[in-house]
Amino acid sequence: MQYIGFLLAGLIGITLGLVGGGGSILTTPVLVYVLGIEPLLATTYSLFVVGATATLGGLQNLRQKQVSIPSAFWFMLPSFGTVYLTRRYLLPFLPNTWHILGLNLPKSAGIMFLFAGMMLVASWSMLATGNPENNNEYPSPNSSMLMIFVGTIVGILTGIMGAGGGFLIIPALVLYARMPMRKAVGTSLVIIALNTSIGFMSSYITQHPHIDWDFLLIFTGLAICGLFLGNYIGFFLSGKTLKKTFGYVILTIGCYVLIAEIIKLLG
């Protein structure tokens, strides 16, 4: 199964390279279901993998002038604090048993159910968004305030589940900042890189997780290779095709996670 997990690491990188998001929402399920890593530790691994991969992707897009610094600033302004506070104070104090809709769920199952919910929302946001190439030139009114709000939500999600939040960032940049898809991808990678890096450092300093660095560095290296391949493939695909494909992939994985967790509870 480890070889399958390493193969999927490349797919994670390709996803980040193509659409500027979705890497973390794929990483945690791969680590948990394919490689058998405990969910809470998997979120920490996910922060490292996605942070390192998105950093290289973000630097590449900065060189190509495919990053909007002002939009990235408005996102990162609230998300910096919420990522740190969530990993430092909220995550360690989440109860070991979650009481949801009359069910008693262990923390690990609760995290994966939240992931499944995120995936379904992500697939809807990608499939429901119109053609990203048909944006107007200027941002919509109050776009900065809307991006601050989304940045806060992204920070909380990054802190709890190791998710960079690209599935929220991309639609916000496309719809509210009226940004072309290619530039939205680059800007998203910069935001994700900073958010996940802060989240990982916060976890490493405060929780002292036991990390298998040999495994993690190999997994991350393969994801980085996938990132560069995804960037190359992206030049031959339209923004609309990228978003639709990503939406269907996330929908499939979200349904799988949801069904798998329900089967585990019933078993």
Amino acid identity of residue 185, one-letter, is V
Distance CA 133, CA 113 (A): 34
Report residue 75 as tokens.
């996102």
Distances (CA, A) of 147 to 60, 82, 142, 208: 23, 14, 9, 33
**The pTM of the whole model exceeds 0.85:** no
Amino acid identity of residue 243, one-letter, is K
Residue pointed to by tokens 């990188």: 13
Distance CA 162, CA 238 (A): 29
**pLDDT, tens digit, 9 for 90 and up, residues 164-202:** 667 677 777 877 777 887 788 888 889 888 888 888 888
Which residue range(s) make up the domain with 141? 2-266
**pLDDT, tens digit, 9 for 90 and up, residues 49-79:** 988 998 998 898 899 888 988 888 888 888 7
Domain count for the chain: 1
Strands (E) across the chain are located at 97-100, 103-106
From 216, 179, 196, select the one nearest 54 (Cα to Cα). Answer: 196
